[in-house]
Amino acid sequence: MRIIRTAVEMRDAVEPARNDGVVVGLVPTMGALHAGHLALVRRARLDCGLVVVSLFVNPTQFNANEDFDSYPRNEAHDLELLERNGVDIVYAPTAAEMYPDGFGVTVTVTGLTEGLCGARRPGHFDGVTTVVSKLFAHCRPDAAYFGEKDYQQLKVVERMVLDLDLSIRIVGIPVVRERDGLALSSRNAYLNVYERRIAPALQDTMRAVAGRLSGDVELEAQCRWGRDALLAAGFDEVDYFEIRDSKTLQSVEACRPGLRVFVAAWLRETRLIDNVAVDEVE
């Protein structure tokens, strides 16, 4: 497994593979890898002849009051996991490599970024689309793999690729969960024992709401119920509990196929997000 730290070296490394018609797959990550990331790697390994994983904690997608400094970092452990999972190249650039002095471009996707996490984390998705554009330019993948836990991010990246005419296939991979239903996330490492016990209420509550959606049930009332249930379970604050269209992420008035429940809630200092497709809940 090769470890590459510069854009020039990265482009040079994929060039021969691309010339030989080898399919290049990219799994963009911020490290602190868990089984959710490894599911993306496994799928990329199945689909592609050359698998690149990027490790870069991207400063521009964190707001000033967020956890950039404390975000878990353990490159040695990440590299070991990636080597064991058959990755060909790890791209781990420095911040100076990604954002040299004078860097002055922001890639913005409008519309899809306005609600949910976009409303609570101003500028977050600009940071994501800007860094993902750069990773695409450096790694030149045919396909790129994103987890559905960050479902809004997945839709935003799909939109960016479509609107910028990038010939990159974006592949979404279902959420990987702990046995008790908690979605895997690098931020789960922040939870203490007490908070960890409360955390699965996130998916339990989403599923309970999804299970109640039929006929002319009032969606707004169901979301209020979900929000109250999370607070009763021990969550400290709920950023949003919403039901939206899975494709457009638009708010919806009434029950119909193709809906998704989205939630973001705080356990003390830790913000957890999750989502579930209503049609997948029995």
- The residue within the footprint of ligand PAF, chosen from 58, 203, 205, 270 (CB under 6 A), is 58
Is residue 140 within 8 Å of residue 18, measured between CB atoms? yes
Site size toward ligand PAF (CB under 6 A) is 10
Stretch in the footprint of ligand PAF (CB under 6 A) among 26-34, 111-119, 227-235, 274-282: 26-34
Shortest Å, Cβ 129 to ligand PAF: 9
User: Using the rule CB under 6 A, is 30 a contact of ligand PAF?
Assistant: yes
User: Using the rule CB under 6 A, is 82 a contact of ligand PAF?
Assistant: no
User: Using the rule CB under 6 A, is 117 a contact of ligand PAF?
Assistant: no
Q: Could you tell me the CA-to-CA distances from 79 to 74, 83, 95 in Å, in that order?
A: 9, 6, 19
- The residue within the footprint of ligand PAF, chosen from 28, 141, 200, 226 (CB under 6 A), is 28
The interface with ligand PAF within residues 125-164 (CB under 6 A) comprises 128, 131-132, 150, 153
**Which residues does residue 24 pair with via DSSP β-bridges, in sequence order?**
50
Phi, psi angle pair for 181, to nearest 5°: 100, -10
From the list 165, 185, 187, the residue with the least C-alpha distance to 177 is 185
**Which CB, 161 or 213, lies closer to ligand PAF?**
161
The interface with ligand PAF within residues 61-80 (CB under 6 A) comprises 61
d(CA 81, CA 31): 11
d(CA 76, CA 279): 40
In the residue annotation, 124 being an active-site residue is answered as no
DSSP 108-161: ---STTSSHHHHHSTTHHHHHHHHHHHHHHHH--SEEEEEGGGHHHHHHHHHHH
Interface residues toward ligand PAF, by CB under 6 A: 28-30, 58, 61, 128, 131-132, 150, 153
Write out the catalytic residue numbers. Answer: 37
